[in-house]
Structure 1
C-alpha cells in the first residue's frame, strides 16, 4: 500500500458524506490534463479479492463532476453515468481517474472518463451532468 500519493497529487478538500467515506481523493495537473486519484484499501474490496466496482464508480463520478465544475465554475449533478468494466485490481492499488469534457451547454455537460490501476485500464465511462445556474 502506498504511504503517500504519487508525485504532484494534492488532497481534495474533505467533503462530508460518501466522498469523504470512499476517499480521501487527490488531484493533480499532468501534461495530459487533470488527474484524480485515491489509495484503495480493504474497505473498497469485494468478496472475490478485487476492488468493488461501486468504489471505483463512486470515485470516477466525483472526478467527472469535478471536471465539469472546473470547466464551468458551477455546481452540477449526475444525470447519467454509463460504465464498462474492463478489468479488476486488488485493494491496495493506487487508482487514477482521467476525464475529458466533450461539450458544455447552458444546462448540461458531457464528459468521458477512465480509471486505471498503474497502466491497467479498469473502467471507461460516459456521463451527462446537469449544470445549475447557482
Structure 2
C-alpha cells in the first residue's frame, strides 16, 4: 500500500495512507511511524470522535485499533495489501477531546498469509483499549 509522509502540523514526518478514505477522511486522519520503541500509530482526539457522553465513541477506538493492526505490522506487510479477518478488543477507559491517542503493540507471528498482532491504545498515556487481530495478506494477482 502506498504511504505518504505528512509535511506539516503536529504529525509532520509521520506516515499515513491517504488512499484509505474511511480511515483518512472520515474517521481520522490517523498516522503511523516507527520510533526507538517500535511501531506507533497516533492521532489527536477531536469533537467528531466523541459520543453524546463526551468521551470517544467506541466505534472510533475500534476503527483506530484496526488501523493500528496494519501500522504495527507495516514492515511485515512488505508493501502488500491485507484484510482484517479477526479482531478482539476490550474497553478500559474513555478518551477525551483534545487528548493524544496512541497505539503500540507487537507483531506476534508472521506466516505466509496470516499475521497476528496485539496492542494497546492510550489517551495521554492512560490505557483506554486493549486489542488483538489477525491480518490476511492479499496475494498479488498475476499480471
Instruction: Give the Cα separation in 1 of the matches to 2:72 and 2:96.
Output: 27
Q: Distance in 1 between matches of 2:34 and 2:115?
A: 21
Q: 2:81 is matched with which residue? A: 75
Q: Determine if contact 2:115/2:136 at 8 Å carries over to the other structure.
A: yes
Task: Say whether 1:124 aligns with 2:119.
Answer: no
Match of residue 5 from structure 2: none
Greater relative contact order (Cα 8 A, min sep 6): structure 1 or 2?
Answer: 1
**Residue of structure 1 in register with 2:69 after alignment:** 64
Q: Give the aligned partner of residue 48 of structure 1.
A: 53
Count of aligned pairs between the two proteins: 130
The TM-score, its normalising length taken from structure 1, stands at 0.87
Task: Report the TM-score when normalising by structure 2.
Answer: 0.82
RMSD: 1.7
Unmatched 5+ residue regions in structure 1? none
After superposition, residues 13-28 of structure 1 pair within 5 angstroms as 13-20=17-24, 21-28=26-33
CA–CA separation in structure 2 for the residues paired with 1:79 and 1:13? 20
